[in-house]
Structures are given as structure tokens and as C-alpha cells.
Amino acid sequence: MAQYTRVSGSVGLISLRNPPVNALSSVVRQGIVDTVKRALSDPEVKSVVICGHNGIFCGGADIKEFGTTMSGPPLVPMIHAVEAADKPVVAAIEGLALGGGLELALGCHYRIAHSKARLGLPEVSLGLLPAAGGTQRLPRLIGVPAALDLITTGRHITAAEALTLGIVDQVTDQNTVDAAVKFALSVAEQSLDARRISTNPCPRPSDLDALFEGVMQKVRQTARGAIAPVACVQAVRAAATLPYTQGMEREQELMATLFNSGQARALQYCFFAQRAVGRWSMPSGARWDTSKPRPIRKAAVIGLGTMGRGITVALAQTGLFVVAVETQEKQLMEAKQAVSGMLERGAKRRGVAPVLNLVSYSSNLQAVADADLVIEAVFEDMALKKKVFQQLSAVCKPGTFLCTNTSALDIDHLASQTRSPELVVGMHFFAPAHVMKLLEVVYGPRSSPEAVATAMHLGKKMGKVSVAVGNCRGFVGNRMLKPYLEQAFFLLEEGATPELVDQALEEFGFAMGVFRMSDLSGLDVGSKIRKASGQPASNRVQQGHRYSPLGDLLCEQGRFGQKTGRGWYQYDKPGSQVARSDPWVHCFLEEYRARHGLVARRIDHQEVLERCLYSLINEGFRILEDGIAAGPGDIDAIYVFGYGWPRYRGGPMFYAGMVGLERVLERLEHYHQAHPDVPYLQPCGLLRRLVASGSPPIHKWSEVIRKVHSQL
């Protein structure tokens, strides 16, 4: 709703009330229409202030209303009515003015913001555009280039930047509503002609065509298949080239196309999935989040390689004391420099002081004795990790949580090395750990709810999307990655090239295909692990199933990827990131096929996508069947935030629903018939059950999953 009072004699004060962010629900919109009418018809009122209750102006449209039949007054005419008012209307922006909230403020004649307020038009991140005049008013107010930047990226800006750009007229450190009322009194009798943004011409850059061409090219490149950023550019172009009314029509047309696209649905699904993972529950229905997390003041990290360094930085940036332990003196020195550098650069970027003093370094494990929580990140070697856990259990004070960053090893096995297995959980970060948003919190059969709650809470404090998952080889993300990678290797054996596979996956929307990714992370890591587990490099059959040793064979040639300047591609020099096609690899593949009597055939993008993605999705269904993830939304969040799955495709499980479960099942059956020695292609029981149940929408899968679990 919107509350109306008269203040300072002649100012009508309208306060939006819809906690927590005063979203523009139908009731709020109705309230604004009514109160504006009331203020304008009150002869005592000379000017109007619109503010938000509880220190927040307005967080935008009510996302819960998306996809439902709209009731109440629409946003566009409501904002027009505000703009057309014959008394000055001032927006008092505290907290947030986002999306529809900022569009409402742009309909006002003046904007006063608190110095801590944040403004933005983030619609693009939900697959939409600011369709209440935002794409038409903002370029008129601040010019085309700046408007393009804000609208196509959806980034939030500070009040200071908004002032520089000319979005707000004044920034205050004082009470914003008081400042706005004072301002409203001062402009009460002034002409509004120049203040109605929609009536002003849009500044036309001289090189309009070149400007839009350049921006469009850049946007298409970074959007990697997302259509909303492209539509945003088209809408701003309309502002620059058409009269306002026609520009608004174009904005509405583009919005309708986006609204009905699968991409907007996928992005909105992701938005809710990301929120829901915080309310974690086990597939059995038991909840962890009813348990209270224990406060963590001092953390420790063991092993300062790639991951340990990133984790140390992420912990320190959260404000925790961190003891960082590394046994190799040389590594310790290098790590110290690297961590300090990362902290300094991060602080500079965020405009805060670096927190170097929060981190202390040691080569002695005794240094972690008084830590509240320890994260182990030594080599991926079970024997070594077991020893470290035994030592930690002896050294740490009672009650210290012991966490491991292992990518795949058994948490329960590590827990059994300690005095208190209930304090052991996995905290699986992704590289680089101070940047990547995902954290898998892995609970073993003996992990206590308090330990899981503490790890989840710490992850959240570190700004991560934390997802609680069960204990199995590879947990959720890496377990699903295995069949995906395996198919990519098989496709090479059957006639594809790394370029063909990568191109298909990158066109689908992944930031990097399998082979460019593998060159980046280093082929030697996986190969070393496979060697350690006793797998011979040349064998094409393992445990009775088809296996491709291609990656190991490439490693034997000293081709470890970017770090050696050679991998699945060639690089100008070690460490370079520009991958070029390598004829040597093509010869290597031909020789390999000849040696094993394999006949190369033509493979198209469709087959690459179906085999790589459907085998990954199939494993996702197995994970749901096994109760390792609480629901499809958790799997999707893991893939979107940790594995570069294109957000506008919602995540693998959502995508399966979009493709159609029958189709996924039919293609898996087809490929499994063609490759009966590949178990990952055998359709999972849950997928069959879902199809047999009429392929319900994703939010109804849980009913079928529950039935499967109850029969186990």
C-alpha cells in the first residue's frame, strides 16, 4: 500500500509500504495512483514527495506477480500520471531504487538520494528489460552511452555515481525524507517543463550508427546467446532514434518477446533456485537450517597451493583471523606473496583497506590449535589427507570444525580418522576460490547439523552460494561432470576434433568448451590422480566398461595445457590464453584411431550436445534418486554458479524440462543402444518414472522423487 500525509504545511508525503523492499505489487501501484490523485487535488498541497517505508525506496516489480494475470493499475500509465502532475514530485531515495523503483523515480521531477543508496536497472539479469519507460527515460536523462552501460549490465551504482551521471539531483548524508521535503518546498512554484524527462529529446551522439554497432558487437560477445542484453540495446536505440511514444511502443514489443521467451523463465527460475538453496533441507525432509551455526572468529587453512591461497583470501576478506599453514618453505614464501597481492588488489577494487594483518603464516600444524574451524586443502591424496586429519584431531581444541576441500574423496572416511566425526564436513570451493560463487557443503552420515549449519553460514558470509549435498564420489558437481567429460573424449575417438566439441558447447552458452577448460586447469592433475589409483594409461576398457585414455596419453607427451604451452590446443608461449588449433593433435587423434581400428565419422553439433549434456543430466537424475541433492534447483544452482552453465538456460535439470523429458529419455535410449558399453548413457530409473508420470513440471518432480525414496 501507499500511505499519505501532509507535512510542513504544503507537501504531500506518499510512503510506499510493502516489506521487505516495498516492491510494486498491485496494491502498492493502486496506492500510488490513489495518493497521487489525492495530493494533486488537495489545494493546500504545493509539492509532493514519494519515499519508501523503513529506509528503502523501492526494490522494483513484485517478481511473484510475474507470469500471473496482472491485476491493479499497470506501471506505465501510473508513472506517466506522476510525471504529468502539475505539482513538483520529488523521489526521496533511501536504501534501494532498483528496476521499477528507479523507473518510478525517473517519472518524478526531482530525485534526492541518501549517500548509502544504490540504484540500478537489473531487469536484464532476469531476462527482461526495464519496460516501464526505463529504456526511454534514462538515455534522455544521462545520454546514450551511460544508459546503455547501466541497462545492458544491470549493475547497481552508488548514489555518488548516480549524482555524477545526473540521475539524481542531490545526495544527502542526513535524513533523506527531510531533505526531500525541504527541496520540495523550495521548488514548489517552479516550472516543470524541463523536468518531465519523457518530453525532453534524447541526446543524439553524432556517430550513432557506429556507436550502436560497437556496443551490439560487445554485448553479443559477452551475452553468449542471452537475448535480453541484445533487446536492451535495441530499446535504447529506439530512444535515440524515435519519438518518445514510438520508443515506448518498441520497448513494450521487445518486452513481450522477452517475457514469452524461455530465457526469462529460466533466469527467474535461477533467481528463486539461488534463494532456495539457502533454506537447505535433506532429501529425507530433515532440515539442517533449524540448527544454529556456531560463530567462527578464527579459521585455519592447511596447504597453500592454488585452492588454499584463494580460500585464505576469501576468509580474510570476510573479516576472520586466518592461520595459513604450508609445510613446504618455498611454497609458504610464494603463498605469502600471492595472498598479500590478492588481498591488496581486492581491497583496491572495492575501495577498502587491505586486511593483510588478519592472516598469519606458519609451517607448523600446531599453529592451528586455537582455530574454531579448519579447512584442509592439501594434495588430493587420501593417504595424505587421512594423516592430516589425524594430526588435526590431536592438535585442535575440542569442538573445532574440521573441513576438507577435497574434490571427490569420501568425507566419512576422513571423519573416521578423528575423535569427533560429527565435526567433519566438506567445504568444496571452486577455483579461484576467492572469486567463484559456489560452495558445496558436503555432509557425511555422521556430520552434525551444527557443523553443516556452521559451514553453510560461513559460506554465506563469504558471499558464496552454499549448497548442502550428500557424500558420494565427486559429490554433485564433479559427479555429473564425469559422464560429460567422458562423452567428449569418446566423441574424439569417433571422429570429432577438440575444436568441434568446444564450439558446440560454447555456442550452447558455456564460457569454455571441455578441451579449452581442460587446458586451462591442467591435464596433469586428473592424470596424476588416475595414475595414483593404478589405472594403466593405455587401456580402453576399465571395469568392463568403455574408457578413453586420450587425456593420459596426451599428458605422457608433456602436454599439460596452457602451463606448458601445449595441450588440446597450442599456445604462443606457456601461460598464454589464446588457444590455436594444433595439427599435431589432429595427427595424434588419427594415429590413435588407426591403432585401435576406429573409423572416424562425421559428428555434428547436435550429437555433441545430446551426448555431453544428456549424459550429465542423466547423472543429475541419479543424484536425485540417490538423495544426494535435495532437489533439482540445488543441482541447477551448482551448475550455474560453479560450472559455467549458461544461466539463461536455467541449469541442467531445468533445461531437461525445457527440452522435454520424453525427448531426453528417447535420445539417451538411442545412444545407449549404439554404445551399450557406456553405463552413463543408460537412462536412469527416475527419469523413466517421471516420463511415465506424464513429465510433470520441475516444481512437481519432488512428488515422484519422494515416491521413489519411499520404495527404497
Q: Which chain residues interact with ligand NAI by CB under 6 A? A: 302-308, 325-328, 331, 377-380, 384, 388, 405-407, 429-431, 521
For residue 288, what is the DSSP state?
A: S
Looking only at the bridges linking them, the beta strands covering 401-404 and 373-376 are parallel
Distance CA 473, CA 471 (A): 7
Q: Residue with C-alpha cell 530409473?
A: 685
Q: Which is nearer to ligand NAI, 140 or 336 (CB)?
A: 336
Q: Which residue's CB atom is positioned nearest to ligand NAI?
A: 305
Q: Residue with C-alpha cell 531515495?
A: 93
Tell me the closest approach of the beta carbon of residue 323 to ligand NAI, in angstroms: 12
Q: What are phi and psi of 111, to 5 degrees?
A: -135, 125
Residue 103 annotated as catalytic? yes
Q: Which is nearer to ligand NAI, 320 or 368 (CB)?
A: 368
Q: Which is nearer to ligand NAI, 238 or 411 (CB)?
A: 411
Q: Which is nearer to ligand NAI, 109 or 309 (CB)?
A: 309
Tell me the closest approach of the beta carbon of residue 133 to ligand NAI, in angstroms: 45
Q: Pick the catalytic residue: 123, 376, 380, 625?
A: 123
Q: Are 671 and 611 in contact (CB under 8 A)?
A: yes
Looking only at the bridges linking them, the beta strands covering 298-302 and 118-120 are unpaired
Of the candidates 506, 524, 461, 527, which has an alpha carbon nearest to the alpha carbon of residue 306? 524
Q: Which is nearer to ligand NAI, 271 or 379 (CB)?
A: 379
Tell me the closest approach of the beta carbon of residue 522 to ligand NAI, in angstroms: 8
Torsion of CA 503, 504, 505, 510, to 10 degrees: 60
Q: What is the full DSSP assignment across 64-104?
A: GGTTS---S--HHHHHHHHHH-SS-EEEEE-SEEETHHHHH
Distance CA 367, CA 10 (A): 67
Of the candidates 391, 411, 407, 410, which has an alpha carbon nearest to the alpha carbon of residue 451? 411
SS3 for 463? Answer: coil
**Alpha helices for 298-376 (secondary structure H):** 306-317, 329-350
Distance CA 480, CA 440 (A): 14
Q: Which is nearer to ligand NAI, 359 or 377 (CB)?
A: 377
For residue 431, what is the DSSP state?
A: S
First to last CA, the chain: 50
Q: Residue with C-alpha cell 531445468?
A: 654
Q: Pick the catalytic residue: 83, 94, 103, 380?
A: 103
Residues 6+ apart with CB under 8 A from 644: 510, 511, 512
Q: Are 246 and 238 in contact (CB under 8 A)?
A: yes
Helix (H) or strand (E) holding 237: helix 228-241
Tell me the closest approach of the beta carbon of residue 350 to ligand NAI, in angstroms: 24
Tell me the closest approach of the beta carbon of residue 238 to ligand NAI, in angstroms: 45
Q: Which is nearer to ligand NAI, 83 or 524 (CB)?
A: 524
Residue 493 annotated as catalytic? no
Tell me the closest approach of the beta carbon of residue 307 to ligand NAI, in angstroms: 3
Residue type, 98: L
Distance CA 287, CA 394 (A): 31
Tell me the closest approach of the beta carbon of residue 346 to ligand NAI, in angstroms: 19
Q: Which is nearer to ligand NAI, 48 or 325 (CB)?
A: 325
Beta bridge partners of 321: 298
Tell me the closest approach of the beta carbon of residue 539 to ligand NAI, in angstroms: 24
Q: Which is nearer to ligand NAI, 194 or 384 (CB)?
A: 384
Tell me the closest approach of the beta carbon of residue 332 to ligand NAI, in angstroms: 8
SS3 for 475? Answer: coil
Q: So which residues are the catalytic ones?
A: 103, 123
